[in-house]
Amino acid sequence: MATFKEFRNNIKPNWCPGCGDFSVQAAIQRAAANVGLEPENLAVVSGIGCSGRISGYINCYGLHGIHGRSLPIAQGLKMANRELTVIASGGDGDGFAIGMGHTVHAIRRNMDITYIVMDNQIYGLTKGQTSPRSAAGFVTKSTPAGSIENAISPIELALSAGATFVAQSVSSDLKGLTDIIEKGMKHKGFSLINVFSPCVTFNKVNTYDWFKQSIVPVESIEGYDPHDKIKAMSYSMANKGLLTGVVYQNTEQQRYEDLVSGFKEESLVKQDIHIDEETFNKLQAEFA
């Protein structure tokens, strides 16, 4: 069984010192080892932005996609090789701006992959502009008078789109984040994990200290039931979307793969792709 060290490679991340993405990377590596994976059993697909670099920093299959498109790539990969554990990753701009359409449809589709969003509530790679996760009034280069838009709530968005696993964590809690990623990887369906990952260079509002004072762990709420969708939505709204932990999980809904007629358990890469003459002739006759 691989250790988390075997999920390391020799590429040194070029994130800013103190960036929350370092902890997200470490949590993925630890979670992969804890659930018993080998590097060849894991694929990490990323988009664009600071977070997009993560697919090259983990010793496993990795693909650095294009902006907002990590989810369609990850879903195609899972359909071709369902034996792989597939993680899609990106930032809040990647997942909740240009990639929002893919995010919503991946959620409702419920394919067995894990989507980790590194949410720093700002565009970091392009040097500090307002993102869909920036609060109203947020001042950046693109909104010098303060943003006039309301921020998206990932938790409420996911719940309303029909997510079967919704969780949130903060990068400063490596142990808790690792545990949540493990649970997401084990969940039979689509897992959305939003991670508060402070941008230490451009976001001077949503800092580590700010999150420490603001987040509300679901464990601190007496009688919290992660299987009650209505209460999960209510608690998220009451706490301004700042719940952490497993906010909601539905273990009853079937995965996309289980609903596709004729979809074989054996991965496509292991199947015989040759067609016998009789089958070929029948297929050809359909177009006559």
Contact 246, 167 (CB under 8 A): yes
CATH of span 4-261: 3.40.50.970
Of the two residues 5 and 268, the one the predictor is more confident about is: 5
Rg (CA), the chain: 20
| Sheet-wide strand order for 191-196 | 61-64, 42-46, 85-91, 114-119, 191-196, 165-170, 243-249, 216-217
> Within 13 Å and on the Cβ side, how many CA atoms surround 265?
0
Average predicted confidence (pLDDT) for the chain: 95
All structural domains of the chain with their residue ranges: 4-261
What single letter denotes the amino acid at residue 34? N
User: Token pair for residue 116?
Assistant: 């980790």
pLDDT tens-digit readout, 238-262 = 999 999 999 999 999 999 999 998 8
pLDDT tens-digit readout, 116-160 = 999 999 999 999 999 999 999 999 999 999 999 999 999 999 999
Residues with Cβ within 8 Å of residue 65, at least 6 apart in sequence: 45, 46, 47, 48, 52, 73
Burial of residue 231, with CB atoms counted within 10 A of its CB: 0-12 exposed, 13-18 middle, 19 or more buried: middle
The rounded Cα 204 to chain-centroid distance in angstroms is 24
pLDDT tens-digit readout, 61-111 = 999 999 999 999 999 999 999 999 999 999 999 999 999 999 999 999 999
User: Token pair for residue 107?
Assistant: 């959620």
Contact 193, 167 (CB under 8 A): yes
User: Token pair for residue 18?
Assistant: 């103190």
Contact 201, 165 (CB under 8 A): no
Query: Which secondary-structure segment (H or E) carries 45?
Result: strand 42-46
**pLDDT for 54 beyond 90:** yes
Determine if residue 16 is left, alpha or beta; phi over 0 gives left, psi from -120 to 50 gives alpha, anything else beta.
beta
State the Cα angle at 28 between 112 and 87, rounded to 5°.
30
Read off the pLDDT band of 273 (50, 70, 90): confident
